[in-house]
A and B are shown apart, each in its own frame.
Chain A
Amino acid sequence: MFKVEKRPSPSRFWSWMAPILAVVATMVAGGIMFWMLGKPPLEAIRTIFWDPLFNAQFASYSRPQLLIKAAPLILIAIGLSIGFRAGVWNIGAEGQYVIGSLTGAGVALALYPLEAWWIFPLMVVAGALGGFLWAMIPAILRIKLNTNEILVSLMLVYIALEIQSSMALGLLRNPDGAGFPGSRNLQQYPSAHNAEIWVGSSIHWGVIAAMLAVIAAIFLFARYLLGFQIKLTGSSPRAARFAGVNPNVIVAFCLGTSGALAGMAGMFEVSGPAGQVTIDFATGYGFTAIIVAFLGRLNPLGILAAGLLMALTYIGGELAQFIIGLPAAAISAFQGMLLFFLLAGEMFVNYRFVRIRKVVA
């Protein structure tokens, strides 16, 4: 007989092993799922995880895509992880991402066709500010009235999506677009285009921002008092209060920061890879980033790795759709499954199995 016992201290070994095992278990379970869909399991797994990186035919196209897909995921997930550590559950990043794309693009479209060096930086600020303000709605409601931020931030996603349709069909619609929904294409507006910084590198400003966010988060949690206070608030709210941490400041900081980063991610996306505000601009990065944050165990470097892995499943999924006809939604189910295994594996970090010895009486 075994029983589960809480470890005196979290296991270092398992905090590395748990995510790795979760990925392996997901590959196995995912393989079974693909097999049940009538797709060859090994080939599907290989197409998702191997081909985008090393297949002679596709890698040259897929590999650069990796950073482009990973950047928004990492940027949003870093912001979310700060909140999750403090027990502040912003699950409306998708909405903040959308609003950031609208405010960022809005600035550019208002200035069109002016060309100036300061337009792009202004768009970054506007995108961040848009996401920040959208996230401050649940923050202020939680601080002032103790309203549940989970539900409010989530409802705001649906509202943001409606605003997005309204904008794509109305205010931000391309006046020269012959009545089609969608804004002007920012890729054709040099001052506002989030282009590759070095040709062929696929590194745009969003990638740089994601890297900076990772580095900042590392310092925040390793050395900065505020980072310690955030962890303390999440780990033991009452002890944090006793330590002199103002919970309202933490809520505002966590929601504000994650909103600003999500907004920024939306702005980098709309001015770069997407190019324009459309009805279906939002593709769920804000939700997938939740998986990324947990898969990275809320650790900045972990999130970096998890973001790349998740981007890989996106690209690999598209490839698998193209080559073996795997349904696009299979990848979402696959990602959800990954989160299941990860959460299950988390137990081994904090608990252990001990043998119950039976002594014959």
Chain B
Amino acid sequence: MTTPLLRLSGLTKAYPGVVANDDVSFDIGHGEVHALLGENGAGKSTLVKMIYGLVKPDAGHMMLNDTRFAPDKPSTARAAGIAMVFQHFSLFAALTVAENIALGMENPPKMRALAARIKEVSQQYGLPLDPLAQVSDLSAGERQRVEIVRCLLQDPKLLIMDEPTSVLTPQEVEVLFGTLRKLRTNGTSILYISHKLEEIRTLCDEATILRLGKNVGTCVPRETSAREMAELMVGTRLHQPERHTRDMGADALEVVDLSVAATSQFGTALRGVSLRVREGQILGIGGVAGNGQDELLAVLSGETLSPKGSIRFQGNDISRLDPTSRRALGVLAAPEERLGHAAAPDMSLVENACLTAATRQGLAKNGWINWGKTRQFAEDVIARFDVRTPHAQVAARALSGGNLQKFVIGREIMQDPRVLVVNQPTWGVDASAAAAIRQALLDLAAQGAAVIVISQDLDELLEITDDFAALNEGRLSVPVPTAGLTVDQIGLMLGGAHGMEQAHV
């Protein structure tokens, strides 16, 4: 048996209160696409950070081509032939593609030579890129290409990819997989981190599954069923949300030909968006990040005001009302960014309860806040949504992502909304909490509220929504019933084929 490219032996890393990695060992062979599979919080990120030299292991060691490998900083790892594409791109929006790539290299050539190399490599692997374009003008898929090209310019032996497809359309995923297969053919090994089982089954040669920081098994994905891998990953059987058939009531919220200019330099303008949700209906809005999701939520919540007559609630124009007045009517929202948008990080959960519930729950009267009542409301949310926190006076930033998300969604649901708009309700949330949030949204609709779910997780949208529309460059497709939609059809919609009728042309 040949020596593997990289051998991990007994890697352990503990943080205060949590063991992120516990005695993890596995091998990555030459020219192998190796999957690292696990839920959020299973320890995947910590593990790759150790390989990339960002985190030092407490115990255990690594062997690269049979020599001891202990990188103390990323540049050491890069020098040894390890390259990494992060989930959140470390790109500088105000700089050009070439400048960004130069920053990631130890000894970059002159700008002109580098630009030529970028063109060459990007064409060789089917990843077209303009070296002189400013990154802020690129789509998420193109930004990822910058990261990949940056890695490829250093001829890596091992390319680490952290959740690479979470920002891509299905078509872009195909392009990416093509590139990765070419790399494998050229002898590059790839460590592919994901929680999407089907992707791993189509792409990877071998998979290591992490659960709660431990290696719970290695398998050959092509020979293992998705179900088996899921059970290894999650440990217990998943709770499937229950869907009851619901009666759709009258129109609750209607948006008519809404156009709003971009509010920030790097924002997206909304163009002619129209939609309608009825009581009891869940409308799903899919799309790749940065296509106007934040802007749509801001317009519906009242953070951004829209032209007169563009938004109606129960027939009345609410387009010029501020968020507080909309909440009083029952139009509530939960934005994607939990820390700093849906919640103030440095404020307690009680104060964060006051943030959106002051009017509708009667927590403030004539401008005076009733803190007793506010604390009670916060505690009710914590109890009903199983938010894990010592008490309600803890600062929001101290909660884990999933717990804070439960609090934020719970805070809106507990206010008995007539219309609820949520953006990425389960992003970064562990599977059981995600299931609980989805169930709560279904229950809310069952009680007669209209729900709009904006999400980049197609599985989530297929699971809980009644109708589906796609957001692309600020334009919304005509909503179609979710039942019977295939992933391919959705991919076309996300790619900008507006409305199914165009797909037939």
Q: Give Cα A341 to B398, complex, Å.
A: 27
A242 beta carbon closer than 8 Å to chain B? yes
**Smallest Cβ distance from A66 to chain B, in angstroms?**
35
**Smallest Cβ distance from B418 to chain A, in angstroms?**
17
Q: Give Cα A226 to B324, complex, Å.
A: 14
The contact string, 1 if C-beta is below 8 Å from chain B, for chain A 223-249, is: 111101001100110111111101000
| Pair B397/A8 contact, Cβ less than 8 Å | yes
| Pair B369/A242 contact, Cβ less than 8 Å | no
**Contact among B347, B367, B393 with A236 in the assembled complex (CB-CB below 8 Å):** B347
Using CB atoms, name the residue of chain B closest to A232: B344
Q: Give Cα A243 to B341, complex, Å.
A: 9
Q: Give Cα A8 to B302, complex, Å.
A: 31
A110 beta carbon closer than 8 Å to chain B? no
A199 beta carbon closer than 8 Å to chain B? no
Q: Give Cα A243 to B355, complex, Å.
A: 5
A114 beta carbon closer than 8 Å to chain B? no
The contact string, 1 if C-beta is below 8 Å from chain B, for chain A 285-305, is: 000000000000000000000
**Contact among A224, A235, A246 with B344 in the assembled complex (CB-CB below 8 Å):** A235
Given A224-B367, A354-B16, does the pair A9, B356 have CB atoms closer than 8 Å? no
Given A9-B395, A225-B367, A228-B354, does the pair A236, B303 have CB atoms closer than 8 Å? no
Given A8-B398, A10-B395, does the pair A244, B322 have CB atoms closer than 8 Å? yes
Given A244-B323, A361-B59, does the pair A239, B355 have CB atoms closer than 8 Å? yes
| Pair A241/B303 contact, Cβ less than 8 Å | yes
Q: Give Cα A224 to B60, complex, Å.
A: 55
A359 beta carbon closer than 8 Å to chain B? yes
| Pair B368/A8 contact, Cβ less than 8 Å | no
Q: Give Cα A239 to B355, complex, Å.
A: 8
Using CB atoms, name the residue of chain A closest to B359: A244
Given A8-B395, A244-B322, A361-B60, does the pair A239, B341 have CB atoms closer than 8 Å? yes
| Pair A238/B341 contact, Cβ less than 8 Å | yes
| Pair B346/A235 contact, Cβ less than 8 Å | yes
B157 beta carbon closer than 8 Å to chain A? no
| Pair A236/B327 contact, Cβ less than 8 Å | no
| Pair B369/A238 contact, Cβ less than 8 Å | no
Using CB atoms, name the residue of chain B closest to A350: B346
Of residues 238 to 263 in A, which have CB atoms within 8 Å of B's CB atoms? 238-244, 246
Q: B341 contacts which chain A residues (CB < 8 A)?
A: 236, 238-239, 242
B226 beta carbon closer than 8 Å to chain A? no
**Smallest Cβ distance from B142 to chain A, in angstroms?**
26
The contact string, 1 if C-beta is below 8 Å from chain A, for chain B 384-420, is: 0000000001110110000000000000000000000
Q: B61 contacts which chain A residues (CB < 8 A)?
A: 361
Q: Give Cα A6 to B367, complex, Å.
A: 33
Q: A235 contacts which chain B residues (CB < 8 A)?
A: 344-347
Of residues 322 to 340 in B, which have CB atoms within 8 Å of A's CB atoms? 322-325, 327, 333, 335, 337, 340
Q: B325 contacts which chain A residues (CB < 8 A)?
A: 244
Interface residues, chain A, with chain B CB atoms under 8 Å away:
6, 8-10, 223-226, 228, 231-232, 235-236, 238-244, 246, 354, 357, 359, 361
Listed A/B pairs (23) with beta-carbon separation below 8 Å: A8-B394, A9-B398, A10-B346, A223-B369, A223-B371, A224-B368, A232-B351, A235-B345, A235-B346, A235-B347, A236-B343, A236-B344, A236-B347, A239-B344, A241-B303, A242-B323, A242-B341, A242-B355, A242-B356, A243-B323, A244-B323, A244-B327, A359-B12
